[in-house]
Amino acid sequence: MQRSTFSLSLPKMDRWACVMFAIVACVSVVIIMMPLFMLWLSLREAHPIEPDSAYSFLHFAEVFGDPFILKVLTNTLQFSLIALAVGLFFGVPTAWLVERTDLPGKPAVLTIMTIGLLMPGFAAAMGWLFMLHPRIGIVNRWAMDLFALSEAPFNIASIMGMGWVMGLSLAPLAFIMTAAVLRALDPALEESAQMSGAGFFNVMRKVTLPLAWPGILAAGIYIFTIGFAAFDVPAIIGWSNKIYTFSTYLLLQLSAAEGLPRYGAVSALSMVVIFISGMLIWWYSRLQAHAHRYQVVTGKGYRPRTVALGRKVWLAWGFLGAYFTLSKLLPLLVIIWASLLPYFRYPSAAAFKTISLRQFQNIQWDMTIDGIINTGILMVLTPTLTLAIAVCFSWVVLRSKIPGRVGFDFVAFLPHAIPNIVFGLAAMLFMLFVLQRFVPIHGTIWILLLVFVVARLSYATRMTNATFMQIHKELEEAATMSGVGTGVIIWKVILPLLGPTLIYAWLWMALLTYRELTLAVVLSTRDNLTLPIVVWNAWFSGGFGSAAALTLILMSMMVPLVALYWWLVRRTGLRQA
């Protein structure tokens, strides 16, 4: 019998399968085009509007030859290392307290972490600036008065200070990731060491830490990557004090007052950053795979050995309380204080007399309302669209028989390796020089929607992939044998089964979209303001009191969403978070 090419032909797909595949293909093209276009810009010697140009590594030479850019890169590395250290300092002990001790009131830890979501990074940065600014900082002034110092003892406007604030906001992530590592460790391994006569510290040193190490290291790299890409903390604290990390430096270059923006150099620096970030992500996934080797999958519910805290429980809660106070409570109080004053000043009897709600009245309400409406639209559409696309991706990657389908999963993960500010920048350049000719959406909220969706796709596909893999394939095959096509399978079988994951992921992405500053900052104009951008603009025009008032409005509007999120996560437990 002759061997035909039967098996090589594309699987015949019905209408819905074709629609999903088309969506995945189009989105993939957009994702790939953005960094590729940036690469092209970085290699092109002339300005993008020039029709002809030579290609070389000129801009890369520019980047590596510029001592200021190299300074910016070392700043960024120092900043993210300090942030990582601070994050682990608060996160790891918290994870250990929750997972391995008899700490009373563990659900309260979750509540604290969730309330923390209310405070966007830029708000915490504002609060710390008000506290530790060398000139106006409350704590500095107090210390100077109290100890008769001639100079401010703290300076938040430094790499150290910015790293500290960033680290505080990364601690919950460090906590969640370390808790997952500890949870995956089979307590029997520790118990058998104990039965062999090892004491608490020896078990910790010889068994627990070595076993948890790959997981903690992986978490460390992941957190470092986020610190590395951070924008809002360095922007709020560093910008006005001329201390730049690469993300703020990129924006500085774009908004350069003199001459044309240096698109070539900016693109070259972005490519360097993508490379560094990509290597970190690659290292992380390697370690992750390694860490899984140690994991003993425990389907059975087990009760891990818990350390009795005894009287030290006060110490434990003191530690947690200190974290909460430093990361959330103090910044919030200071922001409230700032919003009530006509201009920021040190708390005193005289200052108390000037308290009023005038800052709230003086807010530019027309812009603010525009911002609220735009943010509202984006907050609903971004998670919805992202999840719809993510379901298509998961289906194509995990369920279709399209050749090369695994490649699409890689594409969906690509945005994760690109720092948000670079991603926003790539989108802006792509928009400006390519897409604008076909779809003129520059300066509208639709460009924001496009970028938000693509940037969140990595997270969304991780969530849908994980749940998809838990759905037994035979559930879909049974539907096929019942005589239905792909569309009915998606609507009647897959979506209802994905339901809980979709709701959780939707809420989480809505929260992130609501407070998103980084991606919006590059792409914002007067016509597509979002609420965080309104805050940002107020801050940069020097209206600290007005920015504080706007931040409070932003945070109070987040309360219902965070409450809903808290309720949902409490129901499903910490595990899902």
Partner 1 sequence: MIEVEHLSLTYHSAKQTHLAVDDVSFTVKQGQFYTLLGPSGCGKTTTLRCVAGLERPDLGEIRIDGAPVSSSNKDVWIPPNRRSIGMVFQSYAIWPHMTVFENVAFPLRYGVKKVSGRDVRDRVQKALDLVQLGHLADRAAPHLSGGQQQRLALARAFVMEPKVLLLDEPLSNLDAKLREEMRIELRHLVKSMGVTTIFVTHEQIEALTLSDVIAVMKNGKIVQEGNPLDIYQRPANAFVADFIGKSNLVPGTVTTNPSANGIVRVDCAWGSLACSAPSGSTSGAIMVAIRPEHLELTPSGSADENVLVGTLEAAAFVGNMTDCIVKVGQTSFKVQLHPDRTPVVGSQVSLYIAARHCLAMRADA
Contacts to partner 1 by CB under 8 A = 1, 3-4, 6-7, 11-12, 14, 472, 474-475, 477-485, 488, 492-493, 496-497, 499
Rounded Cα gap, residues 524 and 522, in angstroms: 6
Residue placing its CB nearer to partner 1 in the complex, 16 or 317: 16
What's at 321, amino acid-wise? Answer: G
CB of 4 to partner 1, least distance (A): 5
Q: Are 421 and 251 in contact (CB under 8 A)?
A: yes
CB of 493 to partner 1, least distance (A): 6
Q: Are 504 and 568 in contact (CB under 8 A)?
A: yes
Residue placing its CB nearer to partner 1 in the complex, 190 or 476: 476
CB of 491 to partner 1, least distance (A): 9
CB of 8 to partner 1, least distance (A): 9
Residue placing its CB nearer to partner 1 in the complex, 7 or 348: 7
Residue placing its CB nearer to partner 1 in the complex, 266 or 493: 493
CB of 6 to partner 1, least distance (A): 4
The 3-state DSSP composition of the chain as helix, strand, coil percent (nearest 5) reads: 75, 0, 25
Residue placing its CB nearer to partner 1 in the complex, 210 or 403: 403
Which H/E stretch holds residue 280? helix 263-294
Residue placing its CB nearer to partner 1 in the complex, 496 or 542: 496
**Residue of 458, 418, 452 whose CA lies nearest to 530:** 452
What's at 561, amino acid-wise? Answer: L
**Residue of 376, 434, 180 whose CA lies nearest to 288:** 180
CB of 497 to partner 1, least distance (A): 6
Neighbours of 57 (CB within 10 A): 13
Q: How far is CA 520 from CA 118, 301, 374, 378, 571, in A?
A: 19, 44, 12, 11, 33
Length of the chain: 577
**What crossing angle do the helices spanning 405-413 and 445-470 adopt, rounded to 10°?**
130
Residue 120 sits at the vertex; the CA angle it makes with 38 and 344, to the nearest 5 degrees, is 115
Residue 470: partners with Cβ closer than 8 Å, 6 or more residues away: none
CB of 302 to partner 1, least distance (A): 24
Residue placing its CB nearer to partner 1 in the complex, 361 or 470: 470
